Amino acid sequence: MGCDGGTIPKRHELVKGPKKVEQVDKNAALAARWNYCAISQRPLRKPIVACELGRLYNKDAVIEYLLDTSPEKCIIETAMHVKNLKDVKQLNLTDNPTWMGDKANTKGDKYEDLQRAAFICPVVGLEMNGRQKFCYLHACGCVFSERAMKEIKTEVCHKCGESFNEDDVIVLNGSKEEMADLQRKMEERKLKAKLLKKARKSKTTETVVKSALTEEISGPSSQKPKEKKATIGKMLNGYSSSTSTAKSSSTSTPSGKASKLATGITKRSHTETGEKSEAYKSIFTSHSSAKRAREEKPNWITHTAYYY
């Protein structure tokens, strides 16, 4: 059985089997995650920041991404949880003294070692190329290898000396299980910060109210502490006596008048006011100055429109 050209087809050319799954090169995947920014896909350059999920970014790329508010903005899946600069932490990295960078192979005639990295662990000396697990401390941003954290167990940073706890250790470019754990810790941390902010706000309002009350009670600041205590005692005694009189008067009077007496707005009789001055009495129409004699009163005049 032949074709027009006289060729004989083979079985694998006629029968199509299942497609082979394309496998990603591990070295290329590690280089993409550890040497390039997760937003701009450009090589990582200092200053480098990391989110609470352990992804690496260039700080200028994060700022540009946050400042872009245009409708044509491309929402990147790896940075959807980054809402402001507080969601990322600037890393305190240790440079690799043997790293030559792009200057080592400018002509292309030398072997380029892909296992070399620009940063190392300051404790063990492992290169941060993705072959070994690295983590950073959320409290200070210092980066260490997981081996150094396990071998030298301490609650103080090896580099800067700042204290940290177990929840502050964030794995860089971790697996799916580690990313899910970091996601849960991030949500718990944000919820805790929100509740703490509300508690501080309520405390500040209480302190402001208390300070205002103490200022009203104490009066001017020129008074001495003993005088302030005496004035506070007098005010409290006056308040207790006024409340007792208001209660007694409210029991003896009807319900309509009781509220007025309790508030302190009471009508005093004319005898309680005492003798008033002539200027005060002249305001009213009952005063003698308001009464005019018959001679002073005008005559009653009638007027009509007809004259005869």
CB atoms inside a 10 Å sphere around CB 21? 5
- The H or E element spanning position 212 is helix 176-218
**C-alpha closest to that of 164 among 192, 136, 137, 146:** 137
**C-alpha closest to that of 55 among 118, 131, 136:** 136
> Looking at residue 211, what is its pLDDT?
73
| Rounded Cα gap, residues 125 and 130, in angstroms | 14
Question: pLDDT grade, residue 247 (50/70/90)?
Answer: very low
Backbone angles phi, psi at 265, to 5 degrees: -95, 90
Structure tokens at 213: 């009350």
What counts of helices (H) and strands (E) characterise the chain? 9, 8
Q: Which of 153-157, 181-185, 224-228 has the lowest mean pLDDT?
A: 224-228
Instruction: Evaluate if residue 125 carries a pLDDT over 80.
Output: yes
| Rounded Cα gap, residues 31 and 116, in angstroms | 10
Compare 96 and 215 and report the one with higher pLDDT. Answer: 96
Residue 274: strand, helix, or coil: coil
Question: pLDDT grade, residue 190 (50/70/90)?
Answer: confident
Backbone angles phi, psi at 151, to 5 degrees: -75, -40
Contact assessment for residue 123 and residue 106, using Cβ atoms and an 8 Å cutoff: no
Q: Which of 1-5, 20-24, 159-163, 176-180 has the lowest mean pLDDT?
A: 1-5
> Looking at residue 58, what is its pLDDT?
94
Residue 276: strand, helix, or coil: coil
- The H or E element spanning position 48 is strand 48-51
Residues contacting 144, CB < 8 A, separation 6+ = 121, 122, 123, 134, 135, 136, 137, 158, 159
Fill in the amino acid letter for 116: R
Question: pLDDT grade, residue 121 (50/70/90)?
Answer: very high
Give the residue extent of every domain in the chain.
26-101+112-173, 175-235
Instruction: Evaluate if residue 11 carries a pLDDT over 70.
Output: yes
Instruction: Evaluate if residue 54 carries a pLDDT over 70.
Output: yes
Note the pLDDT tens digit of each residue in 225-235: 555 555 555 55
* Neighbour-count burial for 53-71, b at 16+ CB within 10 Å, e otherwise: bbbbbbbebbeebeeeeee
DSSP state at residue 151: H
> Looking at residue 61, what is its pLDDT?
92
Q: Percent of the chain at pLDDT above 70?
A: 68
Q: Which of 7-11, 129-133, 199-203, 234-238 has the lowest mean pLDDT?
A: 234-238
Note the pLDDT tens digit of each residue in 259-306: 444 444 455 554 455 677 877 877 777 777 766 655 565 555 555 555
pTM confidence score: 0.57
Contact assessment for residue 3 and residue 9, using Cβ atoms and an 8 Å cutoff: yes
| Rounded Cα gap, residues 120 and 23, in angstroms | 29
User: What is the CATH architecture of 26-101+112-173?
Assistant: 2-Layer Sandwich (3.30)
| Rounded Cα gap, residues 210 and 217, in angstroms | 11
Residue 284 half-sphere exposure toward CB, CA atoms < 13 A: 7
